[in-house]
Amino acid sequence: MSVLFYSIAKQAITPIVKPLEFRCRGRFYYRIIDNVVQQFCLLWLNHDFTIRFNISSVYADNDRLIEGNEVAKIINGSNNMWLGQRLVQGELQQQFSLQGTTASLFPHYIDCANTCVDVLINYLIPWFEKACNSASAYKMAKDANIFLTIHQEPDSYESLGFLLDQQRWKQSAALIKYYLDNSHLYNQKWWIPREQEYQQLYEALVNMDTAYIKQYMDGKKSATYRLFRYKL
């Protein structure tokens, strides 16, 4: 069933987002606009479906196949996973629980695809269009509460690339220092590969070593462009 959903949904979605320069790999869509990486994906699971999205800086460590956040966060501020609940209550779930043929279920996949189109046109695309540079993307991500904080971080590590692009050096240094001082609080498999990188960047920010900061940012941007197969 998931294969048919993805096929029908992509046929409906791709003509809408391709003119906006979104590229597609499988069920994942992405574009880079003014140093901002915008991504969304389709998800079908347990007879229900949704759209997830992510926004990040080109100066961050990115993942072309990330699923990200529930689109409900920008629809109504909730973390509800499933868009099927937007259809007639109970009808969709009941229909998919039947032992119907693919042909008999086809209209319901069309309903699912149309719901995805509605969400994209009315919610996600307008949100992406407003989050079109590092300053606006940072603000909107913060307002939508999509950056991860676990303890008492002054900000999320996901914000770092946006802060660097805005040349908010003191705020960037304070954020990195928190992670350096509190590294024991985090999963070491996540932290250890980043420790030296963060230490060196922190020292460069404190000492205003602009050459190193530029080198660091250029390296992150180049890696992001290679990942998404964009040309600098």
pLDDT (tens place) for every residue of the chain, 232 residues total: 688 899 999 999 999 999 999 999 999 999 999 999 999 999 998 878 999 999 999 999 999 999 999 999 999 988 887 888 644 444 444 554 544 545 556 678 899 999 999 999 999 999 999 999 999 999 999 999 999 888 889 999 999 999 999 999 999 999 999 999 999 999 999 999 999 999 999 999 999 999 999 999 999 999 999 999 999 8
Q: What is the pLDDT of residue 134?
A: 98
* Antiparallel, parallel or unpaired: β 28-33 and 69-70: unpaired
The answer to whether the beta carbons of residues 8 and 17 sit under 8 Å apart is no
Q: What is the pLDDT of residue 104?
A: 52
The rounded distance, in Å, linking the Cα atoms of 21 and 19 is 5
The rounded distance, in Å, linking the Cα atoms of 53 and 41 is 6
Q: What is the pLDDT of residue 105?
A: 62
The rounded distance, in Å, linking the Cα atoms of 91 and 2 is 18
Q: What is the pLDDT of residue 17?
A: 98
Q: What is the pLDDT of residue 190?
A: 94
At 111 the three-state DSSP class reads: helix
Q: What is the pLDDT of residue 78?
A: 85
